[in-house]
A = this chain, B = another copy of it.
Amino acid sequence: MRKLECSLVAQNLYDDPEFFAGYSQLRRSAQGLAGAPEWPAVRALLPDLTGKQVVDLGCGFGWFCRWARENGAAKIVGYDLSEKMLERARHDTEDEGIEYVKADLELLELSDQTFDFAYSSLALHYVAGFARLVKMVHQCLVPGARFVFTIEHPMYTAPVRPKWVRDADGRKSWPINQYAIEGTRVTNWFTEGVVKQHRMLGTTLNSLIDAGFTVRHVQEWSPTTDQLVEDPSLAAEMARPGFVIIAAER
């Protein structure tokens, strides 16, 4: 495995050939929203998109963009840093109401009050300038608009060595350490040197509040009983939720 290069702007992880090949095999990549176990919980927090102008921050293969259009959105712009993901998104999309744009979320600027809904799925834990981004998202939304996003849970991103261990009773446990030490975490996920930004849940919420958002819902996602029966490997998410779903309102 090669070591990924880091730059002053965002790491373009998803264009790394090794990473891209691995990531593309994930259920959520191959099957889209139906392959993402947290999707039903996310969907429950979405506003009615009929006639709405929507922005998707970190749109990846465009699964949500297409879903939003199928569910009434007038227009959706999906931003992503990865050329490869945008290429596949464009290939898989035939819809003039969807625009895919290459952008670095560390630098992206959007015009004031141009969107009725902002969405982001598992992208913002890569963003170092989270407070800046959140202020920009607040400004680009019209008053009353929602911002719904998912991130990796900070319990998941915190540890130096993010791997399950056994406690003294042999129980599968997730070893938390350096939770209050925020900033860069470098892990291996399909490739070496994947850079994430660890932030406490409180910090994420306070950034939203400081930007002017009202927090509407905070869900540390865990599977339903039906989901557990269908996929017993999700039991790990009961022990230590891996995702947080947040709904905020301008």
Interface of A toward B, CB cutoff 8 Å: 155, 159-161, 163, 165, 167-169, 171-181, 200-202, 205-206, 209, 214-220, 222, 237-241, 244
Contacts and interface: CB of A to CB of B under 8 A. Distances in A.
Nearest to A237: B180
A168 B161 CA distance: 8
Given A168-B165, A172-B177, A215 B205 contact: yes
Contact of A167 (B175, B180, B239): B175
Contacts of A177: 167, 171-174, 239-240
A219 B199 CA distance: 12
A90 to B, nearest CB: 36
Contacts of A238: 178-181
B176 A239 contact: yes
A201 B220 contact: yes
A219 B210 CA distance: 13
13 contacts: A159-B173, A160-B167, A160-B169, A163-B168, A165-B173, A173-B175, A174-B176, A178-B239, A179-B220, A180-B241, A202-B220, A205-B215, A205-B218
**A-B interface, 8 closest residue pairs, ranked by CB to CB distance from nearest:** A173-B175, A180-B222, A202-B218, A174-B176, A202-B220, A180-B238, A177-B239, A173-B177
A202 B175 contact: no
B216 A179 contact: no
A240 B202 contact: no
A49 to B, nearest CB: 23
A202 to B, nearest CB: 4
Given A167-B165, A216-B209, A220-B200, A240 B160 contact: no
